[in-house]
Structure formats: structure tokens, C-alpha cells
Amino acid sequence: IPVDDFDLVIFGATGDLAHRKILPGLFRRFEAGQIPPTSRIIGAARTEQSDDDFRAETARAICEYTSVRKEHPQLAEFLGLLGYVSIDAKGDGGWQELKDRMRPGAVHAFYFSVAPSLFGDIAERLASHGIADNDSRIVVEKPFGRDRASARALNATLAQHFDEHQIYRIDHYLGKETVQNLMAVRFANVLFEPLWNAQFIDHVQITVAETVGVAGRGSYYDKSGAIRDMVQNHMMQLLCLIAMEPPYHFDPDAVRDEKLKVIRALEPVAPADIVRGQYQADGTDSGYLEDAENPESRTESYVAMKVRISNWRWQGTPFYLRTGKKLRARTSEIAITFKEPPHSIFDDSGVPKANELVIRLQPNEGMNMKVMIKEPGPGGMRLVQVPLDMSFADALGPDGADMPDAYERLIMDVIRGNQTLFMRGDEVEAAWAWTDPIIEAWEDGKRRPEPYDAGSSGPDEALRLMHRDNRRWREIR
């Protein structure tokens, strides 16, 4: 379904995110017929260049980061939507021209794909030049602050010029199809929800493993580490979608209210319940310290932690989170391990094992439910655990395999004015309020992260975190 006619201004249009995600995502949506051909996409950045230069740069980026070739029949048409204004975020240059280009009557959205230190300047100039009004939307990228105080200050700055209903804070994990599917699985089936609590669930594992290191973005990453870069936002969002109560409606504030309650119910994490790791050089690959260009760095490229949620539903069911760079495989999944059946009637044929539901977020998106059945054959009642495995590609055909990138979905939601998959200001602050003490306790100490080999599953200490509780991580593969 096409969205309304819009003017989208991308601040930071010459940057990496615009090239890799935003512009290719917009092209995909245009190709799919979702963007009205009257719409305008205006790049804004400091570089002086013409509309045509920006079109050529965008064409190069789309061809580099997607499988689209420059002969693609719709590419030229898409480039016709583009324009460019050279803008001085801290001065007056370019703002009047930008204003002149905005068409009355179209939806106006402003994407801040720039350093957070410029958010205030841009917001202020959009307002003072009369470019943005009460119907305009702004989109801001992570990192949204580096602790609660800075996130709060950012929220306050934006609030001087925009209402909360105009602010779209992106967490691109919320735009992933399978992440949204968590809500469909939980709240559109009768099967799972009655069992979705501490009475039936032994524990939950959330894994986001990556094979890439931090080379090329070490200066950003070294000041963040896995907790700020992944846990405070993406992992927290996954945890919330798994743990939240059913919202009364699939409506932005109803969903975000429920997520906020989960974040507020998180217990502080004891130092013994967290393991930090740093990947080491192996024969061919560089190690974290070289990639970060900081030989003294104590920043973690891996973290595993045991998280408890202090409420009725989850009392006694731990959530184990782990994420890291340079691990054995790129895989993101959520595994729900149910409790073992309370009693086995099958005396001589083994004890039934616990059911497990694994939701694969990427790659090979799908679900796998492990159930006990009778082993076929005349040998008596022997039990065996088998997978009920479903990949979206198999179940849904080409539509299941061709999942739109998270940014495509999210940018269209901005134009539609739907904030459900965006973080609210109080949610972000609450997430920082939980991670701040974890980060401070580490920064105040002197311990170094545990080394782990590039291409491994992470440090051995993370295994012990589980063994201590008589549990095991799922294999990363």
C-alpha cells in the first residue's frame, strides 16, 4: 500500500548509514511501488555538491550495497526524486534553500543521520527557520546518549522543538521481520501464552553473535563496548518483547508502556553474573586491541550476563543474554527452554527432555520447536526428541525469503506516522538507568576482559556462568 506523498530530508546524506541503509532502503520501497513518484528525498550535508552529484553518489551507493545494477529500469526514475542542499548545521547556510524546497501539503520528515552532538543544532534551526511544524517528524539514530544523564539531556533538547509524538528513535532491531514476529507468535496464537511464565519456562537465552570485528569503527566502538552498543538497545528490545505482558492493543503507547514495565522490573546485575570478553589476534586476523587502536583498552567486544526480572510472571526464570564480535558464526536467536514434565510415565525408556522453542532472527529466519515423540519401531516405548522446524522461506515461499531490510519498514512507518516500532524517550532513559550501574562498576575497577579467540564461541568464563546453574548455552553455529 503506497504511503502518502512526502518530503524526506536526510541530514548526513553523504555518510555511511545513508549510503548503506537509508538510500538503498528507500529505493527498494520505491521499486515495490510504496513511494508515490511525486515524493522528494532531499540530501543535506556539509559537502558542496549539486543535485546531480548527489544522484550519481546515490546510484553508486545503491549498486555497491545491494544487488541492484545501474541499468535497473527504475533506478533513473528513483534518482529523479532526489535533490541536495548543502547545509551548515551550526550556521545559517542552506536553511532558506531547504525551506524553499519543502512542498506544502506533503508529509515532512527529517532524518538526523548525524552525530548526536548536532541533534540540538539541527532541531533548533528547523524550528527557527520555520521549516518544521507540529506535523513534521524527526528520526534519530542510536546511540541515543551514552548514559541516562546524556539521554535525558538529548530528550530535553529535542523536546524544546518537537513533541514526543513527532520523535522517532530508531532501534533497527525493531524493524526486523522476525523481531516483529515475536509479537505475532505470542499474541496471535493460543498455544504459547498460557505457558509463557516462570511456572513453565525454565530459562531464556538471547544470543546475538557476529563474525565481524570492530576494525574500521574502532574509535566509536572503543568508547562504547558491547553493553552500550548492543545490550542497552537491541538486546533490551528483544528481552522486552519476550517478557512483556500482552498490550491491550497493537498501538504505539500500549506496546511501549508494556516494554517500559519490563525494563523497570529488571534487577541490578551482580558482578558475578556478568562476563566480559575481548577477542584476541589469531594467525591471520587482528585482535581487538589492534582494531580499536588502543593497546590498553578494557572495552568488551563480548558480554554474557544473567538477568532477572522481578515481577510475578518471571520470578525464578533467568534470562541469559550474550552478544559479541568475531564469534564463530553470525546468528541471532531467542531460545525458550521449558521445564521438564513433572513426572515420567515411561519407566524404562528414558526421561522426557524439556521442550525448547527457538526463534531464529537471522540468518535463515524461522522457528524450531523441540518435542518428544516415540522412536519408530517395535523396540518398545522409546522416546526421542525431534524438531518441528519451520523456516519462513519454506513456509511462505518467495515472500518469506525476501524479507525487507529493517530500515525499509521503519522509514515507511515514519511516513505513515506509526511509532509502534520506535523507542519512546522514557524507555531509552529507563534502559540506561539499568545499564549505568553495570558500566560504572566496571569502569571503576581494574579487571581486564577475558580474552577469547577470534572465531570461537566467546570466553570460557561465559560457559561457567551457565554451568554454575546447571545449564548450557546453545551452540553458536
Instruction: Give catalytic residues, as residue numbers.
Output: 234
Phi, psi of 6 (to 5 degrees): -140, 160
| SS3 assignment, position 243 | helix
Q: Least Å distance between CB 114 and ligand BG6?
A: 16
46 is in an annotated binding site: yes
229 binds ligand BG6 (CB under 6 A): yes
Which residue in 125, 206, 136 sits closest to 173, CA to CA? 206
Residue 25 vs 83, nearer CB to ligand BG6:
25
Phi, psi of 129 (to 5 degrees): -85, 5
Site string for ligand BG6, 171-210 (x = CB under 6 A): ---------------------------------------x
Residue 210 vs 273, nearer CB to ligand BG6:
210
405 binds ligand BG6 (CB under 6 A): no
Interface with ligand BG6 in residues 244-273 (CB under 6 A): none
Residue 125 vs 228, nearer CB to ligand BG6:
228
The 10 Å Cβ neighbour count of residue 310 is 11
Alpha carbon distance 383, 386 (integer Å): 10
Residue 98 vs 242, nearer CB to ligand BG6:
242
Backbone Cα Rg of the chain = 24
Q: Least Å distance between CB 229 and ligand BG6?
A: 5
Residue 131 vs 238, nearer CB to ligand BG6:
238
Q: Least Å distance between CB 444 and ligand BG6?
A: 25
Kindly give the pairing relationship between strand 302-307 and strand 274-280. Answer: antiparallel
Please identify the residue of the shown chain whose CB is closest to the bound ligand BG6: 229
Q: Least Å distance between CB 141 and ligand BG6?
A: 9
Kindly give the pairing relationship between strand 319-324 and strand 201-209. Answer: parallel
408 binds ligand BG6 (CB under 6 A): no
Residue 259 vs 325, nearer CB to ligand BG6:
325
Per DSSP, 378 falls in state S
Residue 7 vs 210, nearer CB to ligand BG6:
210
Q: Least Å distance between CB 46 and ligand BG6?
A: 23
Whether the Cβ atoms of residue 436 and residue 429 lie closer than 8 Å to each other: no
Q: Least Å distance between CB 210 and ligand BG6?
A: 5
Number of residues this chain uses to bind ligand BG6 (CB under 6 A): 2
Q: Least Å distance between CB 20 and ligand BG6?
A: 11
Residue in the block written with cell 536553511:
95
Q: Helix, strand, coil proportions of the chain in percent (round to 5)? A: 40, 20, 40
Burial class (CB in 10 A: 0-12, 13-18, 19+), 204: buried
Residue 259, all three cell numbers = 516494554
Q: Least Å distance between CB 327 and ligand BG6?
A: 12
Per DSSP, 216 falls in state T
Alpha carbon distance 309, 293 (integer Å): 37
Whether the Cβ atoms of residue 225 and residue 438 lie closer than 8 Å to each other: no
Sheet strands (E) in 87-223: 107-112, 137-140, 167-169, 201-209
Whether the Cβ atoms of residue 473 and residue 205 lie closer than 8 Å to each other: yes
290 is in an annotated binding site: no
Per DSSP, 192 falls in state S
Alpha carbon distance 230, 238 (integer Å): 11
Q: Integer distance in angstroms from the first to the last C-alpha of the chain?
A: 38
469 is in an annotated binding site: no
Alpha carbon distance 450, 279 (integer Å): 8
Alpha carbon distance 256, 240 (integer Å): 9
229 is in an annotated binding site: yes
Residue 173 vs 196, nearer CB to ligand BG6:
173
Alpha carbon distance 307, 445 (integer Å): 21
249 is in an annotated binding site: no
What residue ranges bind ligand BG6 (CB under 6 A)?
210, 229
Annotated binding site, which residues? Answer: 46, 142, 172, 176, 210, 229, 325
Annotated binding site for NADP(+), which residues? Answer: 46, 142
